[in-house]
Copies of this chain bind each other. A is one copy, B any other.
Amino acid sequence: MYLSIVIIGDEILLGRVQDTNSGLIARKFSEYGREVKCVRSVGDKAVDIRAAIEAAMTESDLVICTGGLGPTRDDITKPLLADIFGGEMIEHEPTTANIKRIFAERRLQMNELTARQALVPSSCKVIVNRYGTAPVMWFEKNGKVLVAMPGVPFETRGMLPEVMDCVKEHFGNGELIRHREFTVTGISESALAERLAPYEDSLPQGYKLAYLPVAGAITMRLDGKPGADEAEFESFASRLCDCLGDNCAGTGVKSPAELLLHALRRKKYTLACAESCTGGNISHLVTEIAGCSDVFLGSVTSYANEVKMNVLGVNGEDINRDGAVSESVVRQMAEGVARITGADCSVATSGIAGPGGAVEDKPVGTVWIAVHVPGRTVAKVHHFTGDRAAVIERASAQAINMLRLELVELG
């Protein structure tokens, strides 16, 4: 069973809003063992939406659309769906009740545009949206299914499990693809490809090995051929694991921050951060993860030198002599934040994210990183390529990874 995804919305096509729905849907379905054929993004134009839906329904058995619903766009997408799948626009009463409930909770006035959100083509089955006003609509035609979901990301995230349950019930569990993913660190993609070439050549027809570069790591994904025998698949997965050796940081896909929290928890250590050039991003990456509060105590973004001195206790003479981007300062930042928060471990960053701020011997991309564990502090300078966002992202991933590897070394 193939899946295609259609993302509707001018804001996506104008590059004003980053589409995250297609990635979420793709990830959940690939974890379940269903392959995504194509993701299409189109604007709020009936002719383009129709072309995308028709192409998707030709190539796939299941099509999930998000967006194109809501008070200012209902008049484009819904009549189009009624035209494709038949039926006329009717009011769905549980959705009207849902809209009234939501507006009452938010103490907002309903207007006519909002009330129209409860109109749906009579050809669809409605799943009431518990997270917002736009209904989820399930259409069937010639054995194929299209599900239209609202585009607001947290409504999509919230309603997706229910939609997946309906999909599983409708399509059954036949032909799921066996797969396993490994998080690989500390090796370049080309060196890894060279090492894995003999293994890759040994895989039977229908097996597939994918290199998925993610921030600070590579995810290796092995897909079995559809209907592959379990024992056979497991033997190829375990051979892959052997080939990866020490570079394998675990099965499944874990972010560098998840791997770090796991390593800290094992040793019952707590964590704090002191960030200059990464500007709070490390703290954000850690606190995105639910349940981090047993390990993470807090963080200081010390952008100004006065904050480095007055909050973290960095010696002002060292800043004057060596500059803020230096080994002496980043070490004192790491030790300072551990001291004031009482954390066992810490990471600190001080660097030049750019585009401004470069000095003669310190070009944009120069970042000092220090990690502190009980009994020792280690510091290293890095030179990251890329623009401001890339330097922030890479320095954050590197700092998190560096502390994790230091913990591994502690045993």
> Out of B193, B283, B301, B390, which one reaches A72, CB within 8 Å?
B193
- In the complex, besides A15-B36, A39-B41, A290-B353, 9 extra interface pairs with C-beta distance below 8 angstroms are A11-B219, A14-B210, A17-B23, A72-B189, A154-B385, A273-B280, A279-B284, A292-B303, A298-B300
Known pairs A284-B279, A287-B301; A23 contacts B27 (CB<8 A): no
A193 neighbours in B (Cβ, 8 Å): 71-72, 113
| Contact residues of A between 322 and 361, Cβ < 8 Å to B | 340-342, 353-356
> Out of B10, B12, B210, B283, which one reaches A301, CB within 8 Å?
B283
- By a beta-carbon cutoff of 8 Å, the part of chain A in contact with chain B is 10-20, 22-30, 36-44, 48, 51-52, 55, 70-73, 108-109, 111-114, 131, 152-154, 157-158, 188-191, 193-194, 210-214, 219, 221, 253, 272-273, 275, 278-284, 286-288, 290-293, 296-304, 306-307, 310-311, 340-342, 353-356, 385-390, 392
A27 neighbours in B (Cβ, 8 Å): 14-16
Complex Cα distance A40/B39, Å? 5
Contacting pair B279 A283 (CB below 8 A):
yes
A42 neighbours in B (Cβ, 8 Å): 37-39
A356 neighbours in B (Cβ, 8 Å): 290-291
Complex Cα distance A365/B294, Å? 20
Known pairs A111-B194, A311-B298, A341-B311; A131 contacts B386 (CB<8 A): yes
Counting chain B CB atoms within 10 Å of each CB, the highest count among A37, A301, A310 belongs to A301
Known pairs A30-B14, A71-B189, A390-B153; A298 contacts B307 (CB<8 A): yes
Complex Cα distance A193/B288, Å? 34
Q: In the complex, which residue of chain B has the Cβ closest to the Cβ of A38?
A: B42
Could you give 29 example pairs across A and B, Cβ below 8 Å?
A11-B219, A13-B36, A14-B27, A14-B30, A16-B212, A16-B214, A17-B214, A18-B20, A19-B23, A38-B42, A55-B55, A71-B189, A152-B213, A153-B390, A154-B387, A157-B387, A280-B280, A280-B287, A280-B301, A284-B284, A288-B388, A288-B392, A291-B356, A296-B303, A298-B302, A300-B301, A306-B341, A310-B340, A311-B311
A286 neighbours in B (Cβ, 8 Å): 279-280
Q: In the complex this chain forms, how many copies of it are found? A: 2
Complex Cα distance A251/B373, Å? 49
Q: Say how far A8's CB is from chain B's closest CB, in angstroms.
A: 11
Q: Say how far A35's CB is from chain B's closest CB, in angstroms.
A: 8
A189 neighbours in B (Cβ, 8 Å): 70-72
